[in-house]
Amino acid sequence: MMPRIKKQLIQMLSALSPAEIAKLVAPKLRVLRRERRAILKRLREIERQLAGLAPGLRGLKPGGRVRRRRRRRIVRAVAALRPIAPGPVRRARRGTMAAQVMSILANAGQPMRMRDIRNGLVGRGVPARKGLLNYLSRVLNTNAAFEKVGRGMYGLAAAPGRPARAGRRKKSAPATA
């Protein structure tokens, strides 16, 4: 508020008696008390529903230690509270990780970066978890069907009837005589 208006408001209010101020505030006070009663009624209804749905959660304190038997009851109670249709449905995965990577590389027709292969896997319904890149790296480096053709680039290994792909080759072991 501007200082001048504030000063005028203080002067007006100081001229009123407490009874006159109560008369001015009474309608708003009635509305707020009615809303509070409605909210408390709704809260009691919600508490009653929670008590009926999850009897295993009664008496549970935040951060408290829970014994094994009680923990099972709590897990069941929480499961009962979950909605029937949980979130988006994932597409079903088909085949092993190596088979999916082979399919992605075959469809691309050329070597791909590991991150692009990962994005292809996620697009096929594989969950994008923290360890997915590590697992993908292990699959690409240990499976003979894949070949590292450059830094971070992988392609399908050359089949017996197919010429080798251009790019860097893996170092071979030194020949012993």
- The pLDDT assigned to 65 comes to 62
**What's the mean pLDDT in 74-89?**
60
For 20, half-sphere exposure in the C-beta direction (CA atoms, 13 angstrom radius) is: 6
Q: Where are the alpha helices (DSSP H) in the chain?
A: 3-15, 18-53, 68-81, 97-108, 114-123, 132-142
Identify the CA nearest to 101 among candidates 117, 85, 84, 125.
Answer: 117
- The pLDDT assigned to 58 comes to 57
Q: Look up residue 87 and give its amino acid.
A: G
Handedness of CA 138, 144, 150, 155 (dihedral sign): negative
Residue-wise pLDDT for 126-170, tens only, equals 888 888 889 999 999 998 889 999 998 999 987 554 554 444 445
Percentage of residues of the chain with pLDDT beyond 90: 22
The structure's pTM equals: 0.41
- The pLDDT assigned to 90 comes to 55
The number of beta carbons lying within 10 Å of the beta carbon of residue 146 is 20
Q: Given pLDDT bands bounded at 50, 70 and 90, which one contains residue 22? A: confident
Who contacts 156 (Cβ-Cβ below 8 Å, separation ≥6)? 102, 105, 106, 145, 146, 147, 165
Identify the CA nearest to 140 among candidates 167, 172, 101, 104.
Answer: 101
**What's the mean pLDDT in 55-69?**
60
Domain ranges of the chain: 3-56+72-78, 97-156
Which of the four CATH numbers 1.10.10, 1.10.357, 1.10.720, 1.20.120 does domain 97-156 have? 1.10.10
